[in-house]
């Protein structure tokens, strides 16, 4: 088993749930209007669609933003009796829905629920003047949901119920292309059950595994397994805390998210140096990396296309696997709770996740954890 490449392991996934990619990522937030401004101004997302009182939706407002193939939905409730408030009260701003673009939303629901998935939304067909969309949904870890979206007979801006959102404020994009992977943090002894759930219910394959011997620093540790669908368009690494001298960063997340949930969304770019330079100029905060990381960079990763100077200036990390290399960097949490953050990644052949950077990365996270008094 261990001698198989990542690509060979992906081929072991089952095909009862064909997925074409991530359809959208929906956040429940306390103030969607202001969050939308942040993702436009800081991350370069473009206004795409809107639903709210002005479009006939009375209980919430949702702003849809797009950049490359990535769609973010930011939703806020309008009154205290809306159940979305419970999610925000407990978890703070966070990811509620990882929506998957499928060919058949009814079959996706049937195949997953008959294998044990808990229902979130029974299949339904929604329509407007632009056509029809079929949707359904199941729960995954914590209160997080996978929606299945079938949109082959739809040509509207987003989904029925949403209207095109034209804004006079349109900051340029920063070159973000698509969702590369979305990572979930689960509780103690919950990683293997969650992995088995993705195998049994979704037909995914476990393509990479890291234990606490590989992912540890002097103080804290975690374990991680990467789940992928058959074509590799959807990848969900699952993290679990591990015992260390001090508190694991996963424990800190679980404590402040008050449960399991999405830890980070990784977004791909074709030019990480330009993208990260622009994001930093617009106020996105990234984790720092000591200059010593760059002293032996080429000894560790071999020859790469980039000069070391801009990588060191921007604190971009590099790692290599059998199939190529990757460049990556992580933001600080994008809310006051130390919970959700983003990764920016550029793949140059590598299909892995930067295991060679885990130590440098986690030491950086621990410096931030220590500042918060949570290490
Ligand atoms: Fe990642």
Q: In terms of domains, do 215 and 349 share one?
A: yes
Per-residue pLDDT tens for 18-60? 999 999 999 999 999 999 999 999 999 999 999 999 999 999 9
pLDDT score of 2: 54
Per-residue pLDDT tens for 158-169? 999 999 999 999
Q: What is the pTM of this model?
A: 0.95
Looking at 141, 164, 187, which one is the last position of a domain? 164
- Tell me whether residue 73 is in a domain: yes
Per-residue pLDDT tens for 87-96? 999 999 999 9
In angstroms and rounded to an integer, the radius of gyration of the C-alpha atoms of the chain is: 20
Closest CA to 329 of 303, 293, 302: 293
Closest CA to 297 of 282, 267, 317, 313: 317
Please give the distance, rounded to the nearest whole angstrom, from the Cα atom of residue 141 to the centre of ligand 1: 17
| Cα-Cα-Cα-Cα dihedral sign, residues 25, 142, 374, 221 | negative
* CA–CA distance, 264 with 283 (Å, rounded to integer): 19
Q: In terms of domains, do 129 and 186 share one?
A: no
Near ion ligand 1, which residues have CB within 5 Å?
266, 343
Looking at 119, 138, 164, which one is the last position of a domain? 164
Per-residue pLDDT tens for 182-215? 999 999 999 999 999 999 999 999 998 888 777 7
Query: What dihedral do alpha carbons 92, 25, 247, 338 form, nearest 10°?
Result: -40
Q: In terms of domains, do 259 and 320 share one?
A: yes
Task: Report the run of H or E that residue 134 belongs to, with start and end.
Answer: strand 131-139
Question: Regarding beta strands 145-150 and 205-210, do their DSSP bridges make them parallel or antiparallel, or are they unpaired?
Answer: unpaired
Please give the distance, rounded to the nearest whole angstrom, from the Cα atom of residue 353 to the centre of ligand 1: 6
- Tell me whether residue 10 is in a domain: no
Please give the distance, rounded to the nearest whole angstrom, from the Cα atom of residue 112 to the centre of ligand 1: 26
CA angle 190, 210, 233 (to 5 degrees): 85
Tokens 């999610």 — which residue?
A: 87
Please give the distance, rounded to the nearest whole angstrom, from the Cα atom of residue 181 to the centre of ligand 1: 7
Owning domain of residue 180: 176-372
């Amino acid at each position: 088993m261990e001698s198989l490449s990542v690509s060979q392991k992906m081929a072991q996934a089952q095909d009862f749930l064909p997925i074409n990619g991530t359809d959208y990522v929906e956040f429940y937030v306390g103030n969607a209007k202001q969050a939308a401004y942040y993702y436009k101004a800081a991350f370069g997302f473009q206004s795409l669609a809107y639903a709210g009182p002005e479009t006939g939706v009375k209980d919430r407002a949702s702003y849809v933003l797009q950049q490359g193939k990535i769609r973010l939905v930011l939703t806020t409730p309008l009154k205290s009796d809306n159940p979305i408030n419970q999610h925000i009260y407990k978890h703070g701003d966070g990811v509620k829905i990882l929506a998957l673009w499928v060919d058949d939303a009814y079959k996706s629901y049937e195949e997953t629920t008959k294998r044990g998935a808990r229902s979130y939304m029974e299949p339904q067909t929604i329509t407007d003047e632009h056509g029809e969309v079929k949707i359904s949904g199941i729960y995954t870890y914590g209160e997080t949901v996978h929606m299945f979206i079938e949109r082959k007979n739809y040509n509207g801006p987003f989904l029925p119920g949403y209207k095109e959102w034209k804004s006079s404020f349109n900051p340029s994009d920063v070159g973000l292309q698509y969702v590369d992977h979305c990572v979930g943090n689960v509780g103690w002894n919950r990683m293997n059950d969650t992995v088995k759930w993705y195998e049994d219910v979704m037909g995914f394959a476990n393509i990479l595994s890291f234990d606490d011997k590989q992912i540890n620093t002097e103080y804290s540790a975690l374990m991680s397994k990467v789940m992928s669908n058959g074509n590799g368009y959807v990848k969900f690494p699952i993290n679990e805390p591990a015992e260390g001298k001090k508190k694991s960063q996963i424990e800190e997340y679980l404590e402040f998210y008050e449960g399991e949930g999405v830890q980070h969304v990784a977004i791909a770019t074709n030019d990480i140096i330009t993208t990260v330079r622009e994001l930093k100029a617009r106020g996105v905060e990234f984790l720092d990396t000591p200059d010593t990381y760059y002293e032996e960079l080429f000894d560790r990763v071999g020859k790469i296309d980039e000069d070391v100077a801009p990588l060191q200036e921007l604190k971009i990390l590099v790692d290599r696997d059998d199939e190529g290399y990757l460049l990556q960097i992580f933001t600080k949490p994008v809310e006051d709770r130390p919970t959700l953050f983003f990764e920016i990644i550029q793949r140059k052949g590598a299909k892995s996740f930067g295991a060679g950077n885990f130590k440098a990365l986690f030491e950086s996270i621990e410096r931030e954890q220590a500042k918060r008094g949570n290490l």
